[in-house]
Amino acid sequence: MSLKKINSALISVYHKDNLEPIIRLLHQNGVQLFSTGGTQKFIEELGIPVVPVEDLTSYPSILGGRVKTLHPKVFGGILSRRDHDGDKAQMKEYQIPAIDMVIVDLYPFEATVASNASQQDIIEKIDIGGISLIRAAAKNFNDVLVVSSMEQYQEVETVLKDQKCETTTNQRKLFAAKAFDISSHYDTAIFSYLNSDSSISGFKNSTRQSKVLRYGENPHQQGVYHGDLEEIFDQIHGKELSYNNLVDVDAAVCLIEEFEDETAFAILKHTNACGCATGKTVKEAYMKAFEADTVSAFGGVLITNKVVDADAANELHSLFFEILAAPDFTEEALEILRQKKNRILLKKKTNLTTTKQFKSILNGIIEQDRDLKTDSLDDLKVVTKRATTSDENNALLFASKICKHTKSNTIILANNGQLIASGVGQTSRVDALRQAIEKAAAFNLSLNGAVMASDAFFPFPDCVEIAQEAGIKAVIQPGGSIKDKDSIAYCDDHNMAMVFTGTRHFKH
């Protein structure tokens, strides 16, 4: 494909790191440079000739720098079609020089928002001239090369060096696509800031980082992760994370973040906890979690909220698991755990900050707030004659945390600090309860004195009847059924305690 020579370039950037090699390459190849403000000064300090944009437009920078490049002599030079007779005639008539390359790096709007700056400072970081230059140059990619971010500097430097400041149409088209990626993301960030109260309906979400996965949920499906995983985790050992790994890790993180002050450990399979416990140490919490289901733990995703030490690592090492996530690992623990080359070890650096969830359905998208409500002691309303004890309250709140993060319909059976068994993703709540009871029996775990948590209300008293017969002494549920009184009456007749929270925790 034929090459097009760059004869002139307009450079106006916020970040100037790694820009110098590009400027020197352009200068060495006889490219005329136009610039403004701080970028112009930067080029001049390199001892390289540069034409101020003010000299081109015969107009000064005005309004405190808000208007510098918004002028026909700038945008005419960028947007003119080089093979269009009418454009060529007007360029000559108005003495507008062609601009063959535009290098822009936008004001850091997102970083300014993240810094908790004042609204005035944030608004001033909405780039107007820069975004206009990017869009104009990208639109006219047949004739103009656009560089729209500092992250492209190295790539464009290679192109300029290898091709002596000449570019192909395909190269310019690729950089144009990148430019619209930059501009659309930038505009979405501004919209999200100004529409923080969601007064304008519509779905807009943008992330520029992505990673192609080996495959999706199954080998015949393609998969991509969009986002910055390194913001949350450092992967310090093991094979590449898969689509299913990421889904499970997300579920594990959501669950473990329910436990702030206690040492907690959870084991998950297919996004559901098959083991979860608290303890004085990571080792103790793991061993209690493992006890709930020693079969499903095989190949599971493990997570804790405390540093993994050698004692815990020695115990964990005997189990085959896919992933272990923790805030940190001691060197001794790493020496033990790294003995399995494919075992994935993740260092969790921060908590999740997202407050929304969305997914594609029916050729569209549904969006909702994340369920950030954690049942607390203040939420518990005793509805039975027998009040819950302090230990029962602790056990009920522990069970509720797990229940919130388990697929509906779900029943959680637990004691204070240990998941005993769960019924997961059943079409009826009775089936979920029976599944949990059968699991507890399969692993020889007693339910005498245990508690039960349900993600939604009981439409009939059958669940409390079955639970009481299995040894359950206290129940936590949202309440709200027209037949709540029947469940309450059964509990009263059998000295069971039951509390309502008023909050349902469906998870589909």
Question: DSSP 3-state assignment of 390?
Answer: helix
- Give the residue with greater pLDDT, 107 vs 60: 107
Placement of tokens 């005329």 in the chain: 32
C-alpha R_g of the chain? 31
164: number of Cβ within 10 Å: 12
- Cross-sheet strand order for the sheet of 51-52: 51-52, 32-35, 8-13, 101-105, 145-147
- Residues 47-92 have pLDDT tens digits of 999 999 888 887 777 787 777 778 888 889 999 998 899 988 988 9
Tell me what pLDDT residue 61 has: 78
Question: DSSP 3-state assignment of 212?
Answer: strand
Apex 372 CA angle, 349 and 269, nearest 5: 65
Tell me what pLDDT residue 94 has: 87
Token code pair at residue 13: 């950037």
Average pLDDT along the chain: 94
100: number of Cβ within 10 Å: 25
**Burial level of 94, CB count in 10 A (0-12/13-18/19+)?**
exposed
- Residues 212-232 have pLDDT tens digits of 999 999 999 999 999 999 999
Question: For 374, phi and psi rounded to 5 degrees?
Answer: -110, 125
Q: Which amino acid is at 18?
A: N
Provide the whole-model pTM.
0.86
> Which residues have a catalytic role annotated?
139, 270
pLDDT at 393 over 80: yes
Q: Which amino acid is at 400?
A: S
- Residues 450-503 have pLDDT tens digits of 999 999 999 999 999 999 999 999 999 999 999 999 999 999 999 999 999 999
- Residues 432-458 have pLDDT tens digits of 999 999 999 999 999 999 999 999 999
Instruction: Round to whole Å and give the CA distance between 229 and 226.
Output: 9
- Give residues with Cβ within 8 angstroms of 425, minimum separation 6: 272, 407, 408, 409, 410, 432
Tell me what pLDDT residue 1 has: 59
Instruction: Round to whole Å and give the CA distance between 361 and 404.
Output: 23
Instruction: Round to whole Å and give the CA distance between 347 and 232.
Output: 8
Instruction: Round to whole Å and give the CA distance between 393 and 412.
Output: 15
pLDDT at 271 over 80: yes
**Burial level of 59, CB count in 10 A (0-12/13-18/19+)?**
middle
Placement of tokens 């115990």 in the chain: 315
CB 254 within 8 A of CB 303: no
| Mean pLDDT calculated for residue range 194-205 | 84
pLDDT at 150 over 80: yes
pLDDT at 430 over 80: yes
pLDDT at 357 over 90: yes
Question: For 171, phi and psi rounded to 5 degrees?
Answer: -65, -45
359: number of Cβ within 10 Å: 9
Helix (H) or strand (E) holding 359: strand 356-361
- Tell me the CA distances in angstroms from 261 to 28, 222, 257, 353, one per residue in order: 62, 40, 10, 19
- Give residues with Cβ within 8 angstroms of 63, minimum separation 6: none
Strand-pair partners of 445: none
Tell me what pLDDT residue 381 has: 98
Q: Considering the chain, what percentage of its residues have pLDDT values greater than 70?
A: 100
Instruction: Round to whole Å and give the CA distance between 424 and 407.
Output: 6
Placement of tokens 């001239």 in the chain: 129
Tell me what pLDDT residue 105 has: 92
Q: Which amino acid is at 429?
A: R
Give the pLDDT band of residue 340 (cuts 50, 70, 90). Answer: very high
What does 406-471 look like in DSSP terms, one character per residue? Answer: SPSS-EEEEETTEEEEEE-S-SSHHHHHHHHHHHHHHTT---TT-EEEESS--SSTHHHHHHHHHT
Give all strands (DSSP E) within 168-271, no chain letters.
210-212, 224-226, 233-237, 263-269
Tell me what pLDDT residue 51 has: 92
Tell me what pLDDT residue 197 has: 82
C-alpha torsion sign, points 313, 314, 317, 319: negative
93: number of Cβ within 10 Å: 8
